[in-house]
Amino acid sequence: MAWLQATIDSDSSVAERLADALMDAGALSTAIEDAWAGTDKEQPIFGEPGEPVDQLWSQSRIITLFDENDDPALLIAAAATACQLTMPSYKIERVEEQDWVRLTQSQFDPIRISDRLWITPTWHEAPEPNAVNLQLDPGLAFGTGSHPTTRLCLQWLDKQLKGGESVLDYGCGSGILAIAALKLGAASAVGIDIDPQAVRSSKDNAEQNGVQADFFLPDANPQAQYNVVLANILANPLRMLGDLLASHVKTGGRIVLSGILAEQADELSAIYNQWFEMDAPVFDEGWTRLTGTRRAQV
């Protein structure tokens, strides 16, 4: 079986409307991306939770998949007519059926976090069998170690955990930080996430790695204090959660914050300075890790 893929460059003001019309005309799928992706003109668009992105790129590209027996030109023309647009230019290529599982797996290699800490997909042999290897596959939940924000937190755990700590991973995603903490010597780890899928994924990943961690939705969050609290989320929730996160850190305990853009570091550090003696920020590819030590609670 094969498919026909059409690539259509479109002005962003009509891209969504045209993509919807293509689906109505009989396309199997559509996706919109930056027409300049991978070039110097690529336009990053960021959004925070609760603040939906209300814009597309200045020049968009629609990727549309058709059945191999379809007539793409006819269906694209019908969609353009439905949108009252002139016929757009497009490129057609044939997409042959492949072993998509193997193809996807081939894109993910083991990730080296440090000399002793690796993240290894389950279909790979561990490159350093004597190292601490986290078995983690790409999935629905955020956090496989490839992104700088996760990497910054893992590097901190690798260098700073002494053994025997209690750890809270707030916004646990895949559970990677809680699992890593346990494998690096923490006595206990708890993960919290607002997404039920993340909680399920975290539990599965902990079992896969042979560690015992507890994962909860926020309403079931145990009201406890910890030696280390990690929050690898985004700046907007971190602004709002400062008091809550601080309440979970024991006096003298440590907080680790990530998911923060470099230009947001000073603002977030000032907010958390209410409760913590903040350290100098650490940067990686435009992202920031902030850490601090909990002051005595008055």
Cβ neighbours around 67 below 10 Å, total: 14
Annotated binding site: 150, 171, 193, 232
For residues 259 and 138, what is the distance between their CA atoms, to the nearest angstrom? 19
Query: 153 is written with which tokens?
Result: 């937190």
Amino acid at 104: T
Return the HEC string of the chain: CEEEEEEEEEEHHHHHHHHHHHHHHCCCEEEEEECCCCCCCCCCCCCECCECCCCCCCEEEEEEEEECCCCHHHHHHHHHHHCCCCCCCEEEEEEECCCHHHHHHCCCCCEECCCCEEEECCCCCCCCCCCEEEECCCCCCCCCCCCHHHHHHHHHHHHHCCCCCEEEEECCCCCHHHHHHHHCCCCEEEEECCCHHHHHHHHHHHHHCCCCCEEECHHHCCCCCEEEEEEECCHHHHHHCHHHHHHCEEEEEEEEEEEEEHHHHHHHHHHHCCCEEECCCEEECCEEEEEEEECCCC
Please report the sign of the dihedral spanned by the C-alpha atoms of residue 242, residue 243, residue 247, residue 251: positive
* Binding residue positions for S-adenosyl-L-methionine: 150, 171, 193, 232
Torsion 82-88-86-39 (CA) sign? positive
